[in-house]
């Protein structure tokens, strides 16, 4: 009995050592996650996550073999290295039977670091449009709040917009290549913000 117990301890110790060992044939930041049915995962800390604008970032899935979604982001300069790491993974067969519903995410840059965020859409209907004069009105950009092209084309009440103005602390859009259309001067038409008729 003592001999059998000793052999079991030795075998278990040998197995744990193999799990921790990095493979010489897989140097592309791939590790084996034994707690997730042997699913291979990618360590995001091995990739550049710095950024200046949202466009510097790209979404990545750290568990390409599992039922997971692209919920992290890295710098686009490391996208090729990430793809190489994914291609080096051999998923176990049969794979997991699942059809995950992935929440829409967008890559963004906040405090000089890439991350994944949920979209935020605004419309002119989100704000009051009443007015007494044209000075009460202002044009705002609508659509995805962090879109690279922020064209102010929708007239709304200035005070209401300023009170509800959404913050942009979670994104850094690069609007340098944006071209906005020409619009008519803003006006107050029968108590509603609009454009000159």
For the chain, which residues make up each domain, given as ranges? Answer: 26-117, 121-195
Model's pTM, two decimal places? 0.65
Burial class (CB in 10 A: 0-12, 13-18, 19+), 89: middle
Rg (CA), the chain: 26
CA dist., res. 140 & res. 129, Å (int): 12
CA dist., res. 126 & res. 195, Å (int): 18
Burial class (CB in 10 A: 0-12, 13-18, 19+), 108: buried
> Which residue would you say has higher pLDDT here, 51 or 165?
51
The confidence band for 195, taking pLDDT boundaries of 50, 70 and 90, is very high
H/E element holding 115? Answer: strand 113-117
Q: Whats the size of the chain, residue-wise? A: 197
Residues 6+ apart with CB under 8 A from 59: 70, 71, 72, 73, 105, 106, 107, 116
**Rounded mean pLDDT of 169-181?**
78
Name beta bridge partners: 157: 137
CA distances from 35 to 20, 23, 41 (A): 13, 18, 11
Q: What is the pLDDT of residues 41-92, one digit of tens each?
A: 899 999 999 999 999 999 999 988 877 889 999 999 999 999 999 998 888 7
> Which residue would you say has higher pLDDT here, 32 or 105?
105
pLDDT of residue 165: 84
CA dist., res. 88 & res. 92, Å (int): 13
Strand, coil or helix: 57 = strand
| pLDDT at residue 23 tops 50 | no
Q: What is the pLDDT of residues 103-140, one digit of tens each?
A: 899 999 999 999 999 998 999 999 999 999 999 999 99
Strand, coil or helix: 106 = strand
CA dist., res. 30 & res. 78, Å (int): 15
Q: What is the mean pLDDT of the chain?
A: 79
């Amino acid at each position: 009995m003592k001999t059998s117990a000793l052999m079991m301890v030795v075998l278990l110790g040998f197995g744990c050592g193999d799990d921790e060992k990095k493979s010489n044939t897989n140097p592309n930041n791939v590790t084996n996650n034994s707690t997730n049915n042997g699913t291979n995962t990618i360590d995001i800390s091995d990739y550049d996550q710095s950024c200046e604008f949202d466009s510097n970032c790209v979404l990545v899935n750290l568990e390409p073999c599992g039922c997971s979604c692209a919920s992290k982001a890295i710098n686009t300069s490391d996208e090729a290295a990430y793809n190489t790491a994914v291609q080096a993974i051999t998923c176990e067969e049969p794979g997991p039977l699942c059809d995950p519903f992935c929440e829409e995410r967008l890559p963004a840059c906040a405090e000089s670091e890439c991350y994944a965020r949920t979209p935020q859409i605004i419309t002119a209907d989100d704000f009051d449009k009443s007015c007494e004069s044209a000075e009460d009105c202002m044009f705002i950009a609508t659509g995805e709040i962090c879109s690279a092209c922020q064209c102010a084309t929708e007239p709304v009440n200035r005070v209401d917009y300023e009170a509800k103005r959404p913050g942009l602390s979670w994104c850094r859009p690069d609007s340098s290549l944006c071209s906005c259309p020409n619009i008519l001067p803003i006006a107050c038409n029968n108590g509603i913000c609009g454009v000159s008729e």
